[in-house]
Amino acid sequence: MKSDRVVKTIGTFFYVGYLPWAPGTWGSLAGLLIAWFSPEPARTLLLVLMCAAGFYACPRAVAAYKAKDPSVFVMDEVCGMMLGILWLPRSIWVALAGFLLFRFFDVVKPWPISWIQKKESPSCILWDDLLAGVFTNLVLRAGFFLGAPTLFARLGF
C-alpha cells in the first residue's frame, strides 16, 4: 500500500532505520547531523515538523510492522537527538557529549523514560525519546552552568 510506504519512509527516516547494527544509533546520528547543519530558527521549526510527522507515523507504523516499538522506526531517535542539543552552542564537544548522553538515556531509560515507554499508546514510541532529549539537554546545560567548557579548555581539550 502507498500509505504504508509513506509511513515506513517517515518512521525509518528515509530508510536509515534499515541500516545494519543498532538502527537507533544511526537514527541518533542522523538527528545530530540535521541539528548541526540546520541554522536557527529553522532548526526549531524543523524539529516541530519532524515531531508532527513522527506522531503521525507512530500508530500507523505499529500497525504496518505489527510491533509495539519497531526497531527500524528511528524517527523517535532523530527527534530526540535534535531536542537534546537544541539551543546549545554548536561545538564538537556539545555534539559528542550530547550524542553519548542521548544514547545513554535512550538505552538505559531511567525513570520516567522507562515509565513512558511501558505505556500502550503508540505515541509513546516518540515521547520516551523526546524525554531522553530533554534529559540530555538539561545535563548539557548543567555542565555549562558548572563550567565544564572552562575545565576542558584548561585540560587542553
Number of structural domains (the chain) is 1
Residue 97 near residue 74 (C-beta atoms within 8 A): no
CA 84, distance to chain mean position in Å, is 7
pTM: 0.92
Residue 120 CB-density burial (10 A; 0-12 exposed, 13-18 middle, 19+ buried) = exposed
Whether the bond into 122 is cis, omega within 30 of 0? no
Going by pLDDT thresholds of 50, 70 and 90, the confidence category of residue 155 is low
pLDDT of 151 higher than 80: no
- In the three-class reduction of DSSP (H, G, I as helix; E, B as strand; rest coil), residue 19 is classed as coil
The rounded radius of gyration (Å) of the Cα atoms in the chain is 16
Residue 15, all three cell numbers:
530508510
> Residues 45-103: pLDDT tens digits?
999 999 999 999 999 999 999 888 899 999 999 999 999 999 999 989 899 999 999 99
User: For residue 118, what are the domain limits?
Assistant: 2-154
Q: What is the pLDDT of residues 118-135, one digit of tens each?
A: 998 999 999 999 999 999
Cell of 2: 502507498
Q: Quick one: pLDDT at residue 153?
A: 62
The candidate with the shortest Cα–Cα distance to 76, out of 153, 128, 146, is 128
